[in-house]
């Protein structure tokens, strides 16, 4: 569902009425530093068009955002002194942790021992349950 921009902080960054530390911009997306970084170099990439949900992006917008994410991750690994890995994080919906109602992708540089990660929250599952869920998601 697309919402009207209203007072969207990311729309304000895109139109220049709000400050940001911009990394990249083209007609499809903008990349800028996160104000509350997990690690130094943590950046956000969002479409220039106001759209709340990742699932409502046009395929071309998704491709553009992922292409910029790949280039940014490469730069993080090459230029940030302790970056030896990168997480791409996209939270879609409030229950998933999306705090700004404008689709966006986090590109988080990782370093050994930084303490961030999900493995501690995952739970082992059995093959029957995994196969059942996979069947529900087939034939997209």
Q: What is the pLDDT of residues 96-126, one digit of tens each?
A: 999 999 999 999 999 998 988 776 667 788 8
How much is the average pLDDT of 30-41? 95
Query: Distance between CA atoms of 23 and 71, rounded to whole angstroms?
Result: 11
Query: Distance between CA atoms of 30 and 15, rounded to whole angstroms?
Result: 11
pLDDT band at 4 (very low <50, low <70, confident <90, very high): very low
Triad 110, 57, 31: Cα angle to 5°: 40
Query: By three-state DSSP, how is residue 87 classified?
Result: strand
Domain over 9-115 is classified CATH 3.60.110.10: no
- Whether 42 is a known active-site residue: answer no
- Dihedral sign computed on CA atoms, order 99, 36, 87, 14: positive
pTM for this prediction? 0.88
Assess whether pLDDT exceeds 90 at residue 42.
Answer: yes
Q: What is the pLDDT of residues 73-83, one digit of tens each?
A: 999 999 999 99
pLDDT band at 25 (very low <50, low <70, confident <90, very high): very high
Q: What is the pLDDT of residue 65?
A: 98
The catalytic position among 42, 50, 104, 106 is 104
Domains of the chain, by residue range, sit at 9-115
| Tokens describing residue 107 | 């590109």
Triad 35, 107, 80: Cα angle to 5°: 85
Q: What is the pLDDT of residue 90?
A: 97
């Amino acid at each position: 569902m697309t919402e009207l921009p209203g007072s969207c902080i990311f729309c304000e960054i895109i139109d220049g009425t709000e400050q940001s530390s911009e990394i990249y911009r083209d007609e499809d997306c903008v990349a800028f530093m996160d104000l509350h970084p997990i690690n130094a170099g943590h950046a956000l990439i969002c479409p220039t068009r106001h759209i709340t949900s990742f699932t409502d992006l046009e395929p071309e917008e998704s491709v553009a955002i992922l292409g910029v994410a790949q280039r940014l991750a490469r730069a993080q690994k090459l230029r940030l002194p302790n970056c030896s890995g990168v997480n791409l994080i996209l939270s879609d919906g409030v229950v998933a942790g999306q705090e700004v109602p404008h689709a966006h992708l986090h590109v988080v540089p990782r370093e050994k021992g930084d303490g961030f990660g999900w493995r501690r929250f995952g739970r082992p599952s059995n093959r029957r349950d995994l196969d059942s869920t996979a069947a529900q998601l087939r034939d997209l």
